[in-house]
Structure 1
């Protein structure tokens, strides 16, 4: 078995990001088209409530990329809108074309209040997207320790692996995120975990 080394992309679909690199794909290109999605993105409570109250639109209606109003609210950090949509019984586990749930999207975009509301309303912290990443993996990449702590408080799996077999702890070590490493170790992350290439920390 070989020891893990710096410089190998822990994501499969992302390389290590440097200062002059473009932001990850999940931080761009979330422009709404449908009326309810636009209103949800803008946090227009009155308009969304009017549409839902009078039955003009299904709360779970999707666009061509399978995104719901909840996805858009989370992508744009509209926590009050998230709460409203949940009150109208939207599908909290709806998945877009990338298999991202609203919780994954809120985590990717680093909107902690949205994450908090979703978790408190039963969102699955261990959902996996099309790239085999869970919300906890994105917190490591973004180094959002407070969001990671919330996920762990709701039993996020510290042993969930990417398509290359990287646990959140392995990613944190590769990305040199010391505070994240400490948090994961405090949460009993397995320091002896192996990736798909039988490499260890």
Structure 2
């Protein structure tokens, strides 16, 4: 079939499915919805859905983690206003979710706080080939091909995404299709957005040569450069920057390309490309987190070292007064924690809740994190300090449920050491 004929058929098909897509969008407000990312977190990404019972306003999901941390089955209520977050579904859960959720009335078109539906999260993973092949195949079983009509892709989008046999080089050689170079889908993404999101160097280069708009902004205020920064293909970043992309453009949440590069991939070269192009090293997002904090949260040690070498503020605080050091404790990022301690960072900061690092450790640390701090021979850390609620670190430790085995004893030893040296 010739390309122009394909185009005509494709246009008719899109028009025919338009009402179906709109009807699906209208169905977003339903009586029962589920937030699947809560399930994965409750089961640490490895649990299994044991059962589900529904009421008018909520779904109760029983999750049995591989290890019973508290010794009883965890039961959590999932609020109906929360959207399913397919982007975090683990492989063991995928095989359990489809029929129970649909029977419960879950709507795969309900949108989350980032205006993304479960369908969009799923197909974004499929179209960008993120994840194991068998996992993507399971997602395809959960979300039918007809859901793609929701995106309202142009023929050029289809060519970039490899849908329906379109080939990008052929599409760009067609004067008609080339005129659609900056056509957008239902989320205002151009073909260049998708090429960057897929890490497709050849497609990015071809689209730029054909005049694609490097400044195009989609419905989430993301540019192609922002997407490229999260996939770790340095040459794509270079091509976009050479074409005039704004290295410090930030989306609605305040994240710049450097924020994405610092935390999404352990890829120093992409970070270096952005900094050489003039990326602001200490820009903060709406939560007040800098790129260094993002690297700390995701344990990107090599990236963190480079950011510090380039002058990043190690004591930068977010809106809660938390430093990158505190984030390593909250998230038990042992490599980054060791790196900061070896670099001589001070450990006596107090956040806006009046909490010290010891309070953070008591609340979310694990045994290895305690041992790392104990070996660091901390000084100027008050073990008796009370936070704004009048709680000491030991008070929090004693109230904690689900701490790893041996944590309480190890934490008590650390406090005893600090108390005896103060």
In 2, Cα distance between equivalents of 1:73 and 1:126: 20
The TM-score, its normalising length taken from structure 1, stands at 0.79
Structure number with the higher helix fraction is 2
- Cα distance change, pair 19–101 in 1 and its aligned pair in 2 (3 A): farther
Deviation at 1:117, TM superposition (A): 1.3
- Cα distance change, pair 73–175 in 1 and its aligned pair in 2 (3 A): closer
1:197 to 320, 339, 343: 320
In 1, Cα distance between equivalents of 2:307 and 2:208: 30
Instruction: Work out which structure has the larger RCO, using CA pairs closer than 8 Å and 6 or more positions apart in sequence.
Output: 1
Deviation at 1:171, TM superposition (A): 2.1
Question: Unpaired runs of 5+ in structure 1?
Answer: 1-13
Q: Does 1:111 align with 2:233?
A: yes
Structure-2 residue corresponding to 1:60: 182
Larger Rg: 2
Deviation at 1:165, TM superposition (A): 0.3
- Cα distance change, pair 140–63 in 1 and its aligned pair in 2 (3 A): same
Q: Helix, strand or coil for the counterpart of 1:29?
A: helix
- Cα distance change, pair 29–108 in 1 and its aligned pair in 2 (3 A): farther
Structure-1 residue corresponding to 2:123: 29
Deviation at 1:71, TM superposition (A): 0.6
Matched positions, count = 186
In 1, Cα distance between equivalents of 2:268 and 2:121: 18
Structure-2 residue corresponding to 1:38: 158
Structure-2 residue corresponding to 1:137: 259
Q: Does 1:93 align with 2:215?
A: yes
Range with bigger deviation, 104-113 or 62-71:
104-113
Deviation at 1:175, TM superposition (A): 2.9
Deviation at 1:192, TM superposition (A): 3.0
In 2, Cα distance between equivalents of 1:27 and 1:123: 26
Deviation at 1:108, TM superposition (A): 2.1
2:300 to 169, 177, 189: 177
Structure-1 residue corresponding to 2:195: 73
Q: Deviations over 1:121-148 (max 9, x none)?
A: 2211211122221111122222322211
1:155 to 262, 272, 278: 278
Q: Is the 1:127–1:134 Cα contact (8 Å) retained in structure 2?
A: yes
Q: Is the 1:166–1:195 Cα contact (8 Å) retained in structure 2?
A: yes
Question: Unpaired runs of 5+ in structure 2?
Answer: 1-36, 47-85, 89-115, 128-150, 326-422
- Cα distance change, pair 135–49 in 1 and its aligned pair in 2 (3 A): same
Q: Is the 1:41–1:75 Cα contact (8 Å) retained in structure 2?
A: no
Q: Is the 1:27–1:108 Cα contact (8 Å) retained in structure 2?
A: no
- Cα distance change, pair 96–29 in 1 and its aligned pair in 2 (3 A): farther
